[in-house]
Structures are given as C-alpha cells and as structure tokens.
Amino acid sequence: MRKIEDPAFIVLVGIATLGFAFVLQPFFGPILWSVVIAIVFASLHARILKAVKGRRNLAAILTVFLVTIIAIVPLLIVGISLSQQASSLYYSIQSGQLDVMGFLERIIGSLPSGIRQALTYFGVGDTASAKALVAKALSEGRERLAAGAFGVGLGAFDFVLGLGIMLYLLFFLFRDGDALEKLLRNVVPLRARQKAVLLCRFSLVIRGTVNGGFSVAALQGALGGVAFWFLGIPAALLWAVVMALLSLLPAIGAALVWGPVALYLLVTGSVWEGLFLIAYGVVIIGLTDNLLRPYLVGRSTKLPDYIVLISTLGGIELFGLNGFVVGPLIAAMFMVSWDIYRKKDVTRASS
C-alpha cells in the first residue's frame, strides 16, 4: 500500500501546485515585480532593519515607503507625461499640424529607384500605397484611442489593484524574506549545493538584469531624448521613453529609433542634423551600451550578450514587459542547471 500512497501523494501535490499557480496567474505581474523589487532592495532593507534595531514590521514599512518614493512615483510621473505627449503627437498628426503624408512623400521621392522597387514588394514602393498604409494606421490608432478612453475606468482600477497587491506582498517579502528563503530551501528536492548555486544565480540574474539593464536603458533614453530635443524633434520625451524601452534589448535597441529619424533628416535635406544624430547615436548612445552593459549586466548575470538578447526577445514575446526579467532568468536557470549536471556527470566519469 505504501508504494501506491507515496506516488499518489506526489501527484496530489503537483495538481494542487498547478491549481494554485492557475489561481494566481491573473496577478503574475504584481507577484513577479514584488519578488524582483524585494531582491533588488534587499541590501537597503537590511540597513534599515539594522538602524531600527531589528523591528521587522517597522523596517518593512519604511523600506516599502522608500521604494515607493525612489522607484514607483518617478515612473508614474514619467508615465503621465508620456501619455500626454503621445496624445499631443497623435492629435498633431490628425489635425495636420504635423504633415506626415508630406514627410512620407519627400522620403519616398528621395530614395534611389532600386530601393523603391524593393519596397514595392511590401506594398509601399509608391507614394499612394504608402499614404494609404499610413492613413489605415492612423484610423486604427484613433479607434484604439477611443476604446482606451471608454475603458479608462476599468484600466485605472486594474492598475491600482495590481499596484496595491505588489506593495502588499512587498511588505511581507521584506518582513519575512529570511523565513521564506529557508522554507524554499527546505521544500526544493535538490542537494544543498545545487540549491545554493541556483538561488545565488537567481538573485544575481535579477539584480544584474534590473539594476544594470534599467540603468543602461534609462541612460540611453535620456541621451537620445536630449539629442531629439536639441534637434527640435516633436515629442522628445515620448521618443526618449521609447528608446529606453527598446534599449532593454542589447546592441540593437535605441538605434531602432534614432536610426530612422537620422535617415529622415538626411533625405529631407537636413543633412548636418542627420549626420550629427548618426555620430551622436554611434559614439555617445552606442558606446554607453557597449561599455556599460557588459560591466553592469553581463558580469552579474554571467550570460553572453547573444543569450541575453535572444532570451529577452523571447521573454517579451511571451510575457510582455515582464519577459524582460523572466526571459534572462529562464536562460540563466537553463545554463546553470546544465552546468551542474555536466559537472556531476564529469565527477561520475572520473570516479
């Protein structure tokens, strides 16, 4: 009977775990980011805990308050400003203040005939088809904006709910983090050495990805925004945020924004402005990525740049912005688990 009961109980534990994960799935984002923030600000919480002489509730409350002031409030301010600039840019295009069609006609007209023929394959090789494509995109954008305005109340409720859940969990993660880590170590069915290596790599990847990745992305976005503002590009803050988000991708991120803008400046006659933006993008923005990312991200995560790029893209495709952390984390767990297995296999072979 014992032989039947033990596997049956394991199956029950597995089903219960999957069921619990399914119940928590709608709040995957808040749960993930509460864990990420708890790990990133663990050293700050340790110093506060020491300063308040071990009063765990007070230390957790103070840490959550500081995290809110340091990280969450600035993001909310940037988000509000970004929304305002995006709306302003959209209505400028709709009202004709920003002549997108005229810009498009000049760009296509200045392209060599070979490139225009190549673009014909994608349906944008002539001005009429390109204008139709842009008009369709603007129409869809107007519909989405209207739908977003209609559902703003529900969206605000979901956002506030998610933020509340994240801060609520964050308090308990700060207060009971040590106990939860011990519990996790006890229930994971691995050897002590394997658990130590996996948990250490888990923390390193999160700290390196968030601290390093966001620092590099924010710096590249800020540098690009300054250049756009200096050149008089409309909605500089909007493009700065877009560059920062795309800069989460190693090597190719910010260039996806400043590259087309530089090309537009060149083909519309603003040659010196275009050349300046290309030089600025390659030297200033590009070197920021090439010099800082390996030091801030690669050294902590111990992942090659190509693994970081592919896993980040795959994670974002599957999990949205959460994939920025989930993708490299899964890649790191994959590599370290196989490394442990390889070393174990080598040890067996040599014995």
| Sign of the four-CA dihedral 163, 167, 172, 177 | positive
What pTM value is reported for the model? 0.68
Nearest-angstrom CA–CA distance, 77 and 222: 15
Nearest-angstrom CA–CA distance, 204 and 295: 13
Structural contact between residues 174 and 60, judged by C-beta atoms closer than 8 angstroms: yes
Question: 241: closest CA among 255, 222, 259?
Answer: 222
Structural contact between residues 107 and 268, judged by C-beta atoms closer than 8 angstroms: yes
Q: What pLDDT score was predicted for residue 152?
A: 42
Q: What is the tens place of the pLDDT at every residue in 14-63?
A: 888 888 888 888 888 888 888 888 888 888 888 998 898 888 899 999 99
Nearest-angstrom CA–CA distance, 278 and 289: 15
Higher pLDDT, 5 or 220: 220
| Residue position matching structure tokens 């050149």 | 231
Structure token pair of residue 168: 């609520």
Helices 214-231 and 271-280 meet at what angle, rounded to 10? 160
Residues for the chain: how many in total? Answer: 351
Q: What pLDDT score was predicted for residue 149?
A: 42
Higher pLDDT, 80 or 55: 55
Amino acid at 22: F
Q: What pLDDT score was predicted for residue 119?
A: 59
Q: Is the pLDDT of residue 291 over 50?
A: yes
Looking at 23-32, 123-132, 160-169, which range is the least confident one?
123-132
Helices 28-40 and 42-51 meet at what angle, rounded to 10? 60
Q: What pLDDT score was predicted for residue 64?
A: 92
